[in-house]
A and B are shown apart, each in its own frame.
Chain A
Amino acid sequence: MREASPAVVSASKLGLTFQTNDGPVQALSDVDLTISKGEFVSFIGPSGCGKTTFLRVIADLEKATAGTISVNGMTPEQARMKRAYGYVFQAAALYPWRTIERNVALPLEIIGMPNAEQAERIRRTLDLVNLTGFEKKYPWQLSGGMQQRASIARALAFDADLLLMDEPFGALDEIVRDHLNQQLLELWERTNKTICFVTHSIPEAVYLSTRIIVMSPRPGRVTDVIESTLPKERPLDIRETPEFLAIAARVRDGLRAGHSYDD
């Protein structure tokens, strides 16, 4: 069935080399990957494995230096110009001079949406992330978890089909993170978006994803692609099941194989 859905992201032989003062650094090499509509794909790997770089190439925040990539059948730049995706960063990056409501409105203002429609969108997206009632608060009046939820609302505001999330919950404590993971799954189910999710955490990757891409550094490359066999309905305690643990073990093996621990 997945084969029938159109490819949202399709990369072949993708490579990216940064020119630094210490000579060239190969951040990505030979990445072949196709992400279909409605998938939840996690990228996991140690620091420097290129998972964030890959996400930034999809978002046209970095340019690939080798191979090809298409987003919704276009180049990443065309896709960005058409606002094909919403991007959630490691930190909430909300503007402190804007209320939560105005922060969510920011992308809508930029695309020039009429005010009445903006208000409706803001109401709906804040409801999606359970922040109704906090419209008039400033970001610095909210907790870290609420700030990150507001930034997800902002990424959802113009209703792009693709959501790119770069370690969005990395800075939060585990209790908040569990809670937000659950909410993210619910949101994914309700909106049927395609989500690319970068993480450091094996349980988070296994819990959320339909597919897990294991990456390794120097140079950044894909070492394993794991299809999740977990059902779409996932209560938190699914993490205690043997099936879950088996997938987690395979991810861990993939990480170990791709990474030499001698250095």
Chain B
Amino acid sequence: MSGFKFSWQAIAAAVLLIGALFTLPIVEAGADAPAPSLLIAATIAALLFCAIVFDGSRLAAGVRACFLFVAAHLAVFMLMSEIAGKNGSARAAFFLLLAACWLLAWRCVTLLSSLRPANRTAKTALRLLIPAIFGAWILIIWEAVTRGAGIPFILLPPPSAIGARIANSLPVLAADVNQTIFKAVIAGYVLGCGAGFVTAILADRISFLRKGLLPIGNMVSALPIIGVAPIMVMWFGFGWESKAAVVVIMTFFPMLVNTVAGLQASGHMERDLMRTYASNYWQTLLKLRLPAAAPFIFNALKINSTLALIGAIVAEFFGTPVVGMGFRISTEVGRMNIDMVWAEIAVAALAGSVFYGVIALVERAATFWHPSVRGGRA
């Protein structure tokens, strides 16, 4: 076998492949379904075998990764089409082949991670491709296991069903996002962060506020949101305003505490410098203390972006008009429409990531000078 060098993933995949060949067919023969095709099983096995041999060869890592990528995904695609319409009929061979495909995809990612491309576009593409393959396999395994083992829909629907539900319910989801995110979250976030920021500047200026408010602030920030939400609904009604109020309460104190800390972040020397220029309070604030506080303020904005989303969704459990993400989750779970619940979860996760990502991008642009961003020494 000189010239061949096998990775452990390839060896394990080979063992699984042999095991699969002894446990054929892939799916049970149903009464009304056509008999499982041995031809497809043979094609899958041949693909995987070629991939294993190819991986052991001495070709360039990039070429081997490409071949592994194509073979593993083609094989798993054929495997999935075998199980289509026959949920729960998978036999051992199905899972063994699935595991073999997954190992080869893993090997493919390992090879890709070891590449050191020279040009910038290739580097960026690779940086996106590796997590994309990784994420895709989470979905593939989820799909294959739920379909293959016939897991009850109510426990865990396959991602394809969730995807189909999202595609079919776009108007409903859009209305929910509009109600929860564009009304409650954004309004509450802007008001809460804004009020926290202004209060921090006042507390910095007026010592009784600093000494009196901050300790109380810590207590209020520990308030359980579950307790506050129904009260806010009683005060501000069923509309989005009460959810925005919950978001204000949740986001106010992280912003206050971080900004107060940030305003102390400028050094003595820098402040003495402003004093030698006979700079007034506002000049010192705008030209020194706020820029120095920016990393703290952005930290609060990032923390608050996730807090705001959680707050608005949970608050909708306590009374809302017939629209909103929290409302949808609480009613659809009662109607056993678990795929709709998952669809809302997926949309919330996506919206939350975009929200966080936008703030993180603005942060990078605004605090480019900070050692944590430019990756240098202080």
Contact = CB atoms under 8 A, between A and B. Distances in A.
A140 B376 CA distance: 8
Contact of B288 (A61, A90, A95): A95
B267 A87 contact: no
Interface string A49-61: 0000000000111
Given A93-B267, A93-B270, A96-B370, A61 B287 contact: no
- Chain B interface SS verdict (over half): helix
Interface residues of B, number: 24
Interface in A64-95: 80-83, 85-87, 89-91, 93, 95
A50 B288 CA distance: 29
Given A89-B269, A140-B369, A83 B277 contact: yes
A223 to B, nearest CB: 28
B285 to A, nearest CB: 12
Nearest to A138: B369
A138 B368 CA distance: 11
Contact of B276 (A87, A91, A95, A97): A87
A97 B270 CA distance: 13
Secondary structure class of chain A's binding surface, majority of residues: loop
Interface stretch (A18-26, A102-110, A121-129, A171-179): A102-110
A236 interface: no
A182 to B, nearest CB: 26
Contacts of B288: 95
Interface string A145-185: 00000000000000000000000000000000000000000
Nearest to B279: A110
A116 interface: no
A53 to B, nearest CB: 13
Contacts of A59: 276
Given A97-B369, A140-B376, A109 B287 contact: yes
A106 B287 contact: yes
A111 interface: yes
Contact of A80 (B269, B273, B278): B278
Contacts of A60: 275
Nearest to A111: B277
B272 interface: yes
A181 B277 CA distance: 25
Nearest to A157: B277
B272 A81 contact: no
A140 B374 contact: yes
Interface residues of A, number: 24
Contacts of B272: 61, 87, 89
A111 B269 CA distance: 20
A112 to B, nearest CB: 10
B276 A61 contact: yes
Given A95-B291, A97-B291, A97-B369, A80 B267 contact: no
A96 B369 contact: yes
B331 interface: no
Contacts of A109: 287
Contacts of A80: 275-276, 278
B283 interface: yes
A252 to B, nearest CB: 30
Which of A60, A85, A97, A140 is most buried by chain B, counting CB atoms within 10 A of its CB? A97
A90 B270 CA distance: 11
Contacts of B270: 93, 95
Contacts of B267: 93
Contact of A87 (B273, B283, B377): B273
Q: Which of B269, B276, B277, B376 has the most CB of A within 10 A?
A: B276
A256 B372 CA distance: 47
Nearest to B284: A110
Nearest to A56: B272
Nearest to A112: B283
Interface in B283-314: 283, 287-288, 291, 294
A111 B280 CA distance: 10
A206 to B, nearest CB: 28
A257 to B, nearest CB: 33
A86 B270 CA distance: 14
Nearest to A106: B287
Interface in B352-378: 367-371, 374, 376-377
A110 B370 contact: no
Given A93-B267, A95-B288, A96-B369, A110 B277 contact: yes
A30 B275 CA distance: 26
Given A61-B276, A93-B270, A97-B294, 14 more contacts: A59-B276, A80-B276, A80-B278, A81-B278, A82-B278, A86-B276, A89-B273, A91-B269, A93-B269, A95-B288, A95-B291, A106-B287, A138-B369, A140-B369
21 contacts: A59-B276, A60-B275, A61-B275, A80-B275, A82-B278, A83-B277, A85-B276, A86-B276, A89-B269, A89-B273, A93-B269, A93-B273, A95-B287, A96-B369, A96-B370, A97-B369, A107-B277, A110-B277, A110-B287, A140-B369, A140-B374
10 closest cross-chain pairs (CB), A and B: A96-B369, A87-B276, A97-B369, A93-B269, A110-B277, A110-B279, A107-B277, A81-B278, A97-B291, A89-B269
